[in-house]
């Protein structure tokens, strides 16, 4: 008769046998992975062909979109994104080139990803406005926001600006220094400081011009906001720009970058200091004129409409198309506006929020109706909606 002791011994033996087979399986998997990694290391992947030189065909040379290739790691997706921008008829893109990504170790720059973006953009006939910012961990306190730049590291940011412009020369016609510095979120959650930003802009301007005197240095990328005086979260963009100019920003920038969102208003809605709409950009231009900087151009580096079905600031898809077409027409008609790059062409992955409804193309490269309508517009064809 089988005793309790025998049953326990049998169970232990079965368990040991199972462990033996599991260990053997793990060893096989490890060996196979080792072979794969060895082969991948020994045989480099085939480079993605750039393809033939292309040009953009469009009736509006000021058309642009803000791409989001910063976190796109697959070369073919970078190539396809830029192909689709060209095919839509937009000759300009704005792209983000974070300092933290390119100089994770002080003094050592990694240009691999940005080279890829520039190479494919060049081949598609696109012009890049480069947005520069995002502080690496070594240049800010531990656990601080990635938008926080201590004063003792401003010159280090200047090093990055100079290195970037030297690297790309005339391939980068314009650079944007920082992003939405009139928002606490984008200013390291410090007190919002137009004068401090102007000092940063002055350093970046000097260093960029040392690398290439012809590069256009843009200040601002101001977020449109009606924040009340004393707000800890934001500063009214018109007040912020006035303080920048009072601090001497007009002498250390070649133009102003602004964000022009329409929210629920039509593109033709008239400008009003108490309203956020697309034509608020005209108020920015008038402020420059009033301060003696009539010849400083404006670059719209973000903007547009959202067609989320439930977001309170959204419009219907057909309204979004109509507003976008009209916005591109307005930009072309404004002699002081150089570019209108609307947000955003495509995300690398779904945001799964209302933000997905700003895009022209899905992460899977499926064009939305607005893509086809803007494509027709760029070719001078009659719209279907």
12 within some domain: yes
Residue whose pair of structure tokens reads 């108490």 in the numeric block: 274
Q: Where are the alpha helices (DSSP H) in the chain?
A: 4-42, 75-88, 99-102, 112-123, 154-168, 194-211, 237-246, 280-290, 317-333, 369-378
Examine the domain organization and report whether 239 and 338 are in the same domain: yes
Examine the domain organization and report whether 39 and 94 are in the same domain: no
Which secondary structure element, helix H or strand E, spans residue 176, and what is its range? Answer: strand 174-177
**pLDDT tens for the 385 residues of the chain, in order:** 445 555 455 555 555 555 554 545 555 444 544 544 444 444 444 568 999 999 999 999 999 999 999 999 999 999 999 999 999 999 999 999 999 999 999 999 999 999 999 999 999 999 999 999 999 999 999 999 999 999 999 999 999 999 999 999 999 999 999 999 999 999 999 999 999 999 999 999 999 999 999 999 999 999 999 999 999 999 999 999 999 999 999 999 999 999 999 999 999 999 999 999 999 999 999 999 999 999 999 999 999 999 999 999 999 999 999 999 999 999 999 999 999 999 999 999 999 999 999 999 999 999 999 999 999 999 999 888 6
Name the token pair of 54.
Answer: 């292309």
Examine the domain organization and report whether 34 and 135 are in the same domain: no
Examine the domain organization and report whether 13 and 80 are in the same domain: no
DSSP string, 250-284: GGS-SEEEEEEE-TTS-TTPPP-TT---TTHHHHH
293 within some domain: yes
CA distance 163 to 8: 71
CATH number at residue 244: 3.20.20.80
Q: Is 325 helix (H, G, I), strand (E, B) or coil?
A: helix
Examine the domain organization and report whether 248 and 157 are in the same domain: yes
53 within some domain: no
Examine the domain organization and report whether 40 and 83 are in the same domain: no
52 within some domain: no
Examine the domain organization and report whether 119 and 263 are in the same domain: yes
CA distance 140 to 142: 7
Examine the domain organization and report whether 20 and 67 are in the same domain: no
What distance, in Å, lies between the first and last C-alpha atoms of the chain? 86
Examine the domain organization and report whether 36 and 123 are in the same domain: no
Domain count, the chain: 2
User: What is the DSSP-derived secondary structure letter of residue 124?
Assistant: T
Examine the domain organization and report whether 17 and 149 are in the same domain: no
The pLDDT, as a whole number, for residue 37 is: 41
Examine the domain organization and report whether 27 and 94 are in the same domain: no
Nearest to 371 by CA among 159, 51, 7, 88: 88
26 within some domain: yes
Residue whose pair of structure tokens reads 């401090």 in the numeric block: 196
363 within some domain: yes
Q: What is the mean pLDDT of the chain?
A: 92
pLDDT digits (tens, 9 = 90+) for 226-236: 999 999 999 99
State the residue range of the domain holding 276.
63-378
pTM above 0.85, yes or no: yes
50 within some domain: no
Examine the domain organization and report whether 96 and 243 are in the same domain: yes
pLDDT digits (tens, 9 = 90+) for 152-173: 999 999 999 999 999 999 999 9
CA distance 235 to 192: 7
Dihedral sign of CA atoms 354, 135, 234, 254 in order: negative
352 within some domain: yes
């Amino acid at each position: 008769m089988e005793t309790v002791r025998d049953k326990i011994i049998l169970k232990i033996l079965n368990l040991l046998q199972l462990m033996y087979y599991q260990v053997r399986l793990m060893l096989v998997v490890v060996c196979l992975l080792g072979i794969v990694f060895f082969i991948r290391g020994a045989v480099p992947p085939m480079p993605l062909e750039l393809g033939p030189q292309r040009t953009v065909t469009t009736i509006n040379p000021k058309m642009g979109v803000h791409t989001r290739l910063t976190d796109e790691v697959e070369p073919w997706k970078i190539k396809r994104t830029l192909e689709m921008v060209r095919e839509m008829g937009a000759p300009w893109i704005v792209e983000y080139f974070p300092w933290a990504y390119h100089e994770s170790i002080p003094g050592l720059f990694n240009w691999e990803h940005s080279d890829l973006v520039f190479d494919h953009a060049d081949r598609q006939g696109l012009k890049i406005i480069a947005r520069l910012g995002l502080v690496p961990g070594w240049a800010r306190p531990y656990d601080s926001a990635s938008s926080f730049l201590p004063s003792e590291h401003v010159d280090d940011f200047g090093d990055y600006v100079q290195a970037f412009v030297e690297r790309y020369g005339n391939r980068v016609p314009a650079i944007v220094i920082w992003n939405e510095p009139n928002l606490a979120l984008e200013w390291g959650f410090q007190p919002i400081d137009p004068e401090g930003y102007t000092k940063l802009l002055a350093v970046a301007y000097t260093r960029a011009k040392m690398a290439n005197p012809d590069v256009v240095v843009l200040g601002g990328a101001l977020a449109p906001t009606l924040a009340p005086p004393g707000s800890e979260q934001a500063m009214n963009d018109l007040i912020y720009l006035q303080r920048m100019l009072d601090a001497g920003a007009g002498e250390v920038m070649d133009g102003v970058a602004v964000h022009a969102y329409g929210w629920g208003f039509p593109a033709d809605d008239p400008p009003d200091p108490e309203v956020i709409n697309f034509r608020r950009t005209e108020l920015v231009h008038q402020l420059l004129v009033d301060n003696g900087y009539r010849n400083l151009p404006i670059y719209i580096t973000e903007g547009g409409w959202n067609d989320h079905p439930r977001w309170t600031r959204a419009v219907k898809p057909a309204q979004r198309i109509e507003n976008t077409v009209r916005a591109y027409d307005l930009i072309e008609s404004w002699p002081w506006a150089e570019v209108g790059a609307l947000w955003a062409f495509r995300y690398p992955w779904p945001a799964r929020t209302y933000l997905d409804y700003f895009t022209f193309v899905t992460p899977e490269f499926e064009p939305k109706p607005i893509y086809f309508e803007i494509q027709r517009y760029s070719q001078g064809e009659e719209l279907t909606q």
